[in-house]
């Protein structure tokens, strides 16, 4: 038996390939799915089954593409009418070489959510693994505010899925969830690469709540919901088209950027001291989390970097979120813009000491996740708009005074500052270097909110 996890950073998406006896199954493949083919070849296996734990909302699933490339069958939950693949119902059994995989209906996160229990012949009677999708995470459970319009009903169903389906599998079963730490699909997921029923039963805070407490807490949680989720849900229902070839990104000249959505993937300081006017600053690791908040699917997208390093990695994030309108990148990097003496955008960078000394005359805009603000406190007098929502709520930010944007350390702050500087006229914007981390490291006053 072989088993490998394939992670997509940023999304904290976890997919799996598992097999034995020359056959393999893939659970929740991502769209750039060549990696499963290569791993199957390395293990001497062919992929015969593709299992989807649910219709994902935060990325384009690769099931349709992987099925096209392998001839494998895709299985999804029966409760949603997918335009491709086959429905699987509670108790359905699938043979993958000597392994047996059993579908378990575990609704709550979505109606059609499935888990998949894997049985291995040397271990009779109990599954050795369960692929738990977005039902059970390491240290957390799935959100119930994304599917349908009744979080309370969803929470009840999730409680049943956890306590009547998953926990009874036994403490010794290894749990392989669809997301790891950092995902938006569940609060405070721990960074264990995988876990067990036993570990979760003892340490997962949600599993120690009674039904009423659980429903109240889950139904009351409200996570952020990026605007692109709707597009993902649509695409994943019908099956995504083949991904674009990453080798064909175009090399753009400065003039080509006119009318494009320009994404500057450099660091906050690089952006601050000079950028293409109107460009949005999303640092590399932030791409999977923020392009879905800030870009549209229609206008072509161009990347700007300093040295155009590893752009295939940056481009993969666009592929995974379905932004096939990514067109190319500025050939020669930002210096190519400068050498033509084109207009240069700038935003100020302030240290926390700078900010502290000017606190009276400025609007402080905190763009952290609201949970961080609640947990760690805030800069006195600051207002809050989450970085992802700045684009939509830009008119709420007063522009009569300078705006000092801050986040945890400075990346999201620069994203927000770039949106303010690019879309709001006559505004003076600064990004606070080091963000709230530096503010507290410097011993400056914190306000509880």
Residue 325 within binding range of a copy of itself, rule CB under 8 A: no
Residue position matching structure tokens 């926390």: 352
Residue position matching structure tokens 């950092």: 182
Selected from 73, 267, 325, 372, the binder of a copy of itself by CB under 8 A is 267
Token pair for 132? 């738990």
Stretch of 79-87, 194-202, 212-220, 418-426 lying at the interface with a copy of itself (CB under 8 A): 194-202
Q: Is 309 helix (H, G, I), strand (E, B) or coil?
A: coil
**Bridge partners of residue 13, in order along the sequence:** 8, 179
Residue 209 within binding range of a copy of itself, rule CB under 8 A: no
Contact set for a copy of itself, span 348-367 (CB under 8 A): 349, 351-353
Least separation in angstroms between residue 344's CB and a copy of itself is 5
Selected from 150, 213, 296, 306, the binder of a copy of itself by CB under 8 A is 306
Stretch of 153-161, 304-312, 362-370, 390-398 lying at the interface with a copy of itself (CB under 8 A): 304-312
Of 309 and 357, which has the nearer Cβ to a copy of itself? 309
In terms of Cα–Cα distance, which of 270, 273, 327, 322 is closest to 303? 327
In terms of Cα–Cα distance, which of 295, 297, 158 is closest to 240? 297
Contact track, a copy of itself, 37-76, x by CB under 8 A: xx-xx--xxx----------------------xxx-----
DSSP 16-48: EEEEETTEEEEES-BSSTHHHHHHHHHTT-EEE
Contact track, a copy of itself, 370-399, x by CB under 8 A: ------------------------------
| Close Cβ partners of 264 (under 8 Å, ≥ 6 residues apart) | 271, 275, 276, 279, 280, 281, 282, 303, 304, 305, 334, 418
Selected from 146, 174, 226, 421, the binder of a copy of itself by CB under 8 A is 174
Residue position matching structure tokens 């009318």: 259
Residue 131 phi/psi, 5° resolution? -90, 110
Residue 257 within binding range of a copy of itself, rule CB under 8 A: no
Of 20 and 185, which has the nearer Cβ to a copy of itself? 20
Residue 23 phi/psi, 5° resolution? -125, 155
d(CA 357, CA 303): 36
Selected from 153, 167, 237, 338, the binder of a copy of itself by CB under 8 A is 338
Residue 412 within binding range of a copy of itself, rule CB under 8 A: no
Least separation in angstroms between residue 427's CB and a copy of itself is 19
Least separation in angstroms between residue 376's CB and a copy of itself is 13
9 CB-side CA count, 13 A: 8
Selected from 107, 151, 243, 410, the binder of a copy of itself by CB under 8 A is 410
Selected from 80, 132, 173, 281, the binder of a copy of itself by CB under 8 A is 173
Residue 426 within binding range of a copy of itself, rule CB under 8 A: no
In terms of Cα–Cα distance, which of 303, 430, 283 is closest to 363? 430
DSSP 425-449: SS--EEEETTHHHHHHHTT---B--
Residue 444 phi/psi, 5° resolution? -85, 160
Least separation in angstroms between residue 386's CB and a copy of itself is 20
d(CA 288, CA 318): 7
Residue 324 within binding range of a copy of itself, rule CB under 8 A: no
Stretch of 83-91, 228-236, 345-353, 361-369 lying at the interface with a copy of itself (CB under 8 A): 345-353
Q: Is 379 helix (H, G, I), strand (E, B) or coil?
A: coil
Selected from 208, 222, 251, 374, the binder of a copy of itself by CB under 8 A is 251
Contact set for a copy of itself, span 86-145 (CB under 8 A): 120, 122-126, 128, 138-139
Least separation in angstroms between residue 20's CB and a copy of itself is 7
Least separation in angstroms between residue 21's CB and a copy of itself is 10
> What kind and span of H or E run contains 312?
helix 311-320
């Amino acid at each position: 038996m072989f088993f490998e996890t394939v992670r997509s950073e940023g999304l904290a998406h976890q997919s799996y390939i598992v097999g034995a006896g020359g056959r393999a199954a893939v659970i929740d493949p991502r769209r750039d799915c060549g990696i499963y083919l290569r791993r199957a070849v390395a293990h001497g296996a062919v992929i015969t089954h593709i299992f989807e734990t649910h219709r994902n909302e935060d990325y384009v699933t690769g099931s349709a593409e992987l099925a096209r490339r392998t001839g494998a069958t895709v299985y999804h939950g029966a409760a949603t009418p997918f335009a491709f693949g086959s429905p699987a119902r509670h108790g359905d059994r699938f043979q993958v070489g000597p392994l047996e995989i059993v579908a378990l209906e575990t609704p709550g996160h979505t109606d059609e959510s499935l888990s998949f229990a894997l049985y291995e012949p040397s271990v009779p009677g109990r599954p050795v693994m369960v692929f738990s999708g977005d039902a059970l995470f390491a240290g957390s459970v799935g959100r119930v505010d994304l599917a349908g319009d009744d979080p309370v009903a969803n929470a009840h169903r999730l409680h049943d899925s956890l306590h009547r389906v998953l926990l009874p599998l036994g403490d010794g079963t290894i749990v392989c969830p669809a997301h790891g730490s950092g995902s938006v699909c569940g609060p405070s997921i721990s960074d264990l690469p995988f876990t067990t029923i036993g570990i979760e039963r003892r340490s997962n805070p949600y599993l120690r709540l009674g039904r009423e407490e659980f429903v109240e807490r889950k139904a009351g949680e409200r996570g952020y919901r990026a605007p692109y989720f709707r597009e993902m849900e649509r695409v994943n229902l019908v099956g995504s088209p083949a991904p674009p070839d990453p080798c064909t990104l175009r090399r753009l000249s400065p003039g080509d950027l006119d009318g494009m959505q320009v994404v500057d993937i450099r660091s906050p300081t690089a952006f601050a001291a000079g950028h293409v006017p109107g460009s949005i600053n999303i640092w590399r690791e932030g791409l999977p989390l923020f392009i879905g908040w800030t870009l549209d699917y229609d206008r072509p997208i161009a990347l700007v970097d300093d040295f155009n390093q590893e752009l295939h990695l940056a481009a993969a994030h666009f592929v995974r979120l379905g932004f096939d309108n990514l067109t190319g990148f500025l050939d020669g990097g930002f210096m190519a813009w400068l050498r033509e003496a084109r207009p240069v955008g700038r935003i100020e960078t302030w240290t926390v000491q700078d900010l502290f000394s000017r606190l009276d005359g400025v609007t402080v805009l905190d763009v952290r996740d609201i949970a961080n603000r609640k947990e760690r406190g805030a800069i006195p007098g600051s207002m809050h708009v989450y970085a992802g929502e700045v684009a939509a709520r830009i008119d709420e930010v007063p522009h009569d005074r300078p705006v000092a944007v801050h986040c945890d350390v400075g990346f999201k702050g620069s994203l927000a500052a770039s949106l303010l500087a690019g879309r709001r006229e006559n505004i003076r914007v600064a990004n606070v270097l080091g963000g709230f981390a530096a503010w507290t490291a410097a011993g400056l006053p914190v306000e509880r909110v």
